[in-house]
Each structure stands twice: as C-alpha cells, then as structure tokens.
Amino acid sequence: MALKIKVGPALLTISRGHSLLVSDPDGQIRWPGSGGFFVWDTRMVSAWAIFANGEPWELLSSGAITHFAAQVFLTNRAIATEEGEIAARTLLLQLGRSIAEGALHEDIDITNHGRAPAHFNLEIAIRCDFADLLEVKAGRIVRRGRITTNWSAARTELTTDYRNRDFRRTLTVTRRRNLSTCVFANGRISFDVALAPAETWHTCLEYSVFDGRHRYSPPQECIDEAPRSRLIEPLVEWRNTVMKIETENADFQSLYDQAIEDMAALRLPVSGTHHLEFVPAAGIPWFFTLFGRDSLIAALQNALVYPDFARGALDVLGRLQARAQDDYRDAEPGKIPHEMRYGELAHFRRVPHTPYYGTADATPLYLIVLHTAWRCTGDLALVERHLDTAERCLEWIAQYGDRDGDGFQEYQTRSPAGYENQGWKDAGDAVVDPDGNPVKGPKATCELQGYVYDAWRRMAEIYDALGRNEQARALRAKAAALYRRFNEVFWDEESGFYAFCLDGEKRKILTVASNPGHLLWSRIVPAERAGRVAARLLQKDMWSGWGIRTLSSDNPAYNPFSYQCGSVWPHDNGIIALGLRQYGFAAEAARIAEALVHAGSFFTAYQMPELYAGVDRTLSKFPVLYPDANVPQAWAAGSVFFLLQALIGFDPDAPHGRLVIDPFLPQWLPSLRLRDLRLGRQVFDLSFWRDGEQTRFAVTRGDAAAVVRRGEGRP
C-alpha cells in the first residue's frame, strides 16, 4: 500500500464563541509569532512556554479532542537537579486545555515513570501583549496604552491589565486544585514539584478575561471531564440535529463528518438573536468573526444539512443592515455588511470594521438566502419578518449597486481604508486583465450580475406567495431585461466564454477566470451556451486536477501559490459544480466533486482548507496547502455540502410539501444514505444506489409520496 501523505497547518487550534487558542503542536505559543489566546479580537496571551529546571519539554503527540478541547503529551529531557539527574523520558507531562467564551481551563499532569524520586522546579512563562488580531495578522503590532502586572501570593493569582483610554482588557490566571509551593518571579509562575516513582502531580490554571464590561469565567471541569460535561451538550445537540450520511466511500464520509464538526467549531454567539449558536464565523484564525458574504454562503451550503442555519444569518445581518451613508465604512442605506471586528482598532475607529460594508455581493445574497430558507422550511412568517430588510436590499441594488444607471452592478470603495475589490475575490490583486494588469475604475464583475438576476427571480416568487403579484411581475421584468442585456454585453462569441468584468470605461475584460462558473449557478446562461462555458472551465489552463483554478494558468498574473490568482478554492468549485448540475452536466459536476474529495483526503483530519495551490495534479501527487489558509473555514467545510446537493439534485419545495431530487451517483460513490433530512416539518431518510448507469433511490423514512424525481409530479 502506498504511503498516505497528510497535509495541514502545523498548528493546534481550539475555539468556542468569540474565543480562540492557536498554539504550536507542543502547546507552546512562541513570540514573536501569530499564535495566542484571542478573545473578541484581542490577543490576551501572546507567549506561553513550560520548563523543568529551565529545560524545555519535548513533544510526543497532540491533538484536538473536540473543537473546544485539546490534549498535548510531552516528555522531559535530562534534568540536572541537586539530588542527581532525572533521566530523559522518564516524566510524562499531559497538558489539557478546554476553552469557553472569554476563558480557558488548563490542566497540567506530570507522572514519574522513573525508578527514582524526581524533584524539580516547574516554570510556566506567560506574556500578554493585548495586540489587535488585525495587527497580528499583518505582522505589524503597534504598542499602545499601558500594561501592568500584579501577583497575589495569597490567592496564587496573576493579573495582567491593559488600558488605553476607555479600552480595557484584563487577564487573570489562577492556580486551582494544588497545594504545592507556587511563586511568581522573572515573568514565570513556578511550582515546586516532588514525585515519587509512579506518582502523579496535578494542577489547574484558570484564565479568565475582563473586557471592561463583562468578566468571563473558565470551565471548571478538568480535561478528562470535558467530553462528559455541560460543555459538550451543544455539540451533541448539533450532531443529533444535522443530517447524517453513510457511504462506502470512506474519504467522502470523513470529509462530510469533519465538515459537520468544523461548522460546529465556527458557530458564534451573537447577542440579540434567537439563534445565537447558528451564526458562523468565516474561518480560523484570521476571520474568526461575522462575515456577511461567508455567513450567507455557508447558510446556502447548509440548506440540505441544517436549513435553520439561515435564520441566524438573516437575523444578525438584517439587524446590521446599513441605514445611512458612511463613506469611511463604505456603507449605504440597505447594504448588508461585510465584516465585524471588536478589538482596539475597531473600538477607536482606526479601521472601518464596525461593521465594514465593503462587499458588493452580500446584499443580493441575502435575498437568495431568504428565498432558500423559505423553500427549505415553508415558513412564510420567516419571510414576512425579514421583508422590510429584503425590500431595503432591493432598493440598494437599484440605487447604489448600479452606480451609473447602466443596468449592471459595479463596485468601488469610497473609503481611504476600503477594499479595492468587493466581490468574493476581494484580494487587491485579484481582478486582472488578460495581460495580468490590475483592472481600474468601478468594476462590474460578471458573477454580481448573476447574483442580482437570481435574487430578483427569487424575490418575485416570494411576492407571488405573499399575494403581491404586481411587484412579482415588475421584478421578473427587470430580471428578463438584465438577462438579455447581460448576455449581449458580457458574452464573447470567439472564446465561447463570458467576460470576467467590465472596467471603469465599460470595456469587456476577457480574462479567463472561475467567476463565469457562478453564472451557471445563477441560471443567467442560455442553455445553448452552457456547454461552452462548462468546457472552457475544464480546459487544461483552468483545470488543475484538484479543482478549477481561480485564474487561467495562461494569464501572466497566474501564480498557483497566490491567494486568488491561480489557487483552488473549494467553495468556488462547489458553486460551479452546483451550477453545472442545474444545466444537466452531471458527469462534469461529479468530476469536480471527485477532485475535491480526493484533495480533501490528503488534508489533516480531513479538514478542507480555505484554499490550496493550483499546481497540476500530474506534477504533484498530493495538494499543496496555501501557507496562510484558514482551517477550519466555513464555506470550505460547506463546499462538501454543495457537492452533495449537486450529486442528489437537491431542490427543496417545502411550501408545496415536496422534496424534488435528481440523483446522479458516479462510480466512485456507488451508494449513499441520508438520515434526518429536514424539509419543513417533515423528516426523511433516503437511500441512493447505482444500478448500472442509473441511480435509484428509496424513501426509508417519511412520506414517500413527498419525494419526487425532477420532472415527475412537481407542481
């Protein structure tokens, strides 16, 4: 059997709520570096190290046991002591950590496996820089304010306080469950440890945070109790509620199961909603916050897995919808936000993320998610609750999204701190012309037009359901006009492909990129052109073998190791696969699915990363990870769910009490079983299997008459 290579970031990460711990695999946080204990975008611990008589410990193994708890196993080097040398690898140190909102519980257990007593000084060095996460990400940290430290010998408690005017953060580290001598000196908490042979020494350190208003308490349970404690209850409830799958393909099964765990890890508690735990952060470590585009796409991906995911995104983003124009934040009335931050830079408005509105696609995506949520749940009251928000979105699309009144959506920042690019490819260098040069001026990217076309058609269907037929007709007329004009202006007959965008002078930019693949998902492509679009996306310059590249390898700006100029993004490929399936290209969609599943099988713990390099599969036998990719990442994990939607032809119709499907299982996925698929108030179990070249299905739980193959009995 060939050696199975695993690719992944060399980090140990746990998270819960708005709290995140990123360490090296040995549990240490090395400074300078990007690791740390972060709470609400502030790094509370910037360095952490552990020693025995000044000697570092050596890693045996480590790993996360849940998304909020991890174990690290270390052993000693030879340690010189007054009583003699402690032989190497005779001490076992177990470091256990469990995280809660704003707090951390740390267990230290040391067992003497030697034949002689061991007596040494255990030292834990902790530093706090209280840096803003955005500055940590950029690698440019500016020291502000004042840091003070106080040690209470009576309480064996270390308090480090940061103040900059009215911004305050405080970290308190308290020793628990141990009576050994404990002191603080030279920046280290020190314990006097004496162990007889086979004896174990234990202590807990509890890290609590005060953010100037709230004090967060750490978990009381030790690490061995965490999987059985109240901390696990939300995760168990999540696992029990979401849809489960069973398949003979072990890689697909593992990717799906890990995606479920990753979505659980990324849930954020956002105050003021009825669905706090179901608003996903974009990704760990750098995007561990609310993102408009990412949360909405994650909600669409989870339509099959947990349709109520959309409720939290609609509630929270609707509440943050812009009410006035604010050029610094790129805000305009009706616009859905892009990104929210809570650290010192946001507090003092040194960055516009309070929230920042520099996204052109979140507003139409909000409408698409509202329609999808209704189709999955049949809950018209949900639509009515968000209708005012939706209509403000429609007004923004018409008034601000179309900046010059030409019928197309354009974007351009008004902020000195704003983003140059405001589609999903939002890197500063992501939108280039065929010569590899940056496109200038307000940009009308092709996929924005597709999103708006789709949003108008979906809102027309909602208006029909509400009995507002005049508004429905008006939106369908606008959608039809956009369809005609878009296909006249953006189509290039010679290449058989759509323009990447229009530049500031309304010139067609005929760069070959993945964005036109989203047009298939939006259904703005005429049927007679869909095959040419599909074929162009799968040509060698775009098809890496691990998925479709973001940019053609023939473009001078192509770099397989760039962020969005030649890399492969799983969510991008998932959207394209879903679009291909909608036009009947089942084999092509399955080809993309196979490539992503095969790539995913190489990643550590089957965690699909935000992106990976666009190197050719024939040149590299395993995918190459982008060095700063977020893992886990919401829409990367959710890409597996989009692939599943494409494979079964998922088309929910809860308002009519029906689930419409059109299954196509490729040879590499001969059978598939779905359990706890929810549609409105109905719950289904479905089985799919290949029968020759055909795919059969059976309803093993639920009303079989409510599940129909596309084209058979749909109203």
64-111: pLDDT as tens digits: 998 999 999 999 999 999 999 999 999 999 999 999 989 999 999 999
Measure CA of the first residue to CA of the last residue in the chain; give whole Å. 52
Q: How do the domains of the chain map onto residue ranges?
A: 19-231, 242-656
Residues 618 and 609: their CA atoms lie apart, in Å, by 21
pLDDT of residue 257: 97
Q: Is the per-residue pLDDT at 646 higher than 80? A: yes
Q: Is 125 exposed, middle or buried (0-12, 13-18, 19+ CB in 10 A)?
A: middle
pLDDT average, residue stretch 202-222: 91
pLDDT average, residue stretch 225-235: 71
pLDDT of residue 4: 67
Q: Is the per-residue pLDDT at 277 higher than 50? A: no
> Tens of pLDDT along 148-173?
999 999 999 999 999 999 999 999 99
Q: Is the per-residue pLDDT at 715 higher than 50? A: no
DSSP letter string, 640-664: HHHHHHHHHT-EEEGGGTEEEE---
Q: Is the per-residue pLDDT at 302 higher than 90? A: yes
Most confident option among 10-19, 35-44, 178-187: 35-44
Q: Is 393 exposed, middle or buried (0-12, 13-18, 19+ CB in 10 A)?
A: buried
Across-strand partners of 688?
672, 697
Contact 370/364 with Cβ under 8 angstroms? no
> Tens of pLDDT along 468-518?
999 999 999 999 999 999 999 999 999 999 999 999 999 999 999 999 999
pLDDT of residue 227: 60
**Phi and psi torsions of 446, nearest 5°:** -65, -40
Place 238 in a pLDDT band, splitting at 50, 70 and 90. confident
Contact 647/669 with Cβ under 8 angstroms? yes
378-392 per-residue burial string, b: 16 or more CB within 10 A, e: under 16? bbeebbeebbebbeb
β-strand 658-661 against 707-709: which pairing, if any? Answer: parallel
Query: Helices 292-301 and 639-648: crossing angle, nearest 10°?
Result: 40
Place 7 in a pLDDT band, splitting at 50, 70 and 90. confident
Take residue 439 and report the two structure tokens written for it: 């496109």
Q: What percent of the chain has pLDDT over 90?
A: 86
CB atoms within 10 A of CB 632: 26
pLDDT of residue 276: 43
pLDDT of residue 79: 95
The number of residues making up the chain comes to 715
> Tens of pLDDT along 520-541?
999 999 999 999 999 999 999 9
pLDDT of residue 698: 97
Instruction: Identify the three-state secondary structure at position 256.
Output: helix
Place 274 in a pLDDT band, splitting at 50, 70 and 90. very low
Q: Which amino acid is at 217?
A: S
Place 457 in a pLDDT band, splitting at 50, 70 and 90. very high
Q: Is the per-residue pLDDT at 133 higher than 60? A: yes
Residues 223 and 208: their CA atoms lie apart, in Å, by 17
Range list of H helices, 466-563: 469-489, 516-522, 527-537
Q: Is the per-residue pLDDT at 397 higher than 70? A: yes
Is CATH 2.30.30 what the domain over 19-231 is classified as, yes or no?
A: no
Residues 26 and 593: their CA atoms lie apart, in Å, by 35
Q: Is the per-residue pLDDT at 659 higher than 90? A: yes
CB atoms within 10 A of CB 689: 17
pLDDT of residue 229: 65
**Phi and psi torsions of 136, nearest 5°:** -60, -45
pLDDT average, residue stretch 566-589: 98
Is CATH 1.50.10.10 what the domain over 242-656 is classified as, yes or no?
A: yes
Range list of H helices, 129-276: 133-138, 233-241, 250-265
Q: Is the per-residue pLDDT at 230 higher than 60? A: yes
Residues 49 and 596: their CA atoms lie apart, in Å, by 38
Instruction: Identify the three-state secondary structure at position 117.
Output: coil
Q: Which amino acid is at 533?
A: V
pLDDT of residue 714: 39
β-strand 118-127 against 188-195: which pairing, if any? Answer: antiparallel
Across-strand partners of 653?
658
pTM above 0.85, yes or no: yes
pLDDT of residue 628: 86
Angle at alpha carbon of residue 514, lines to 513 and 519, rounded to 5°: 120
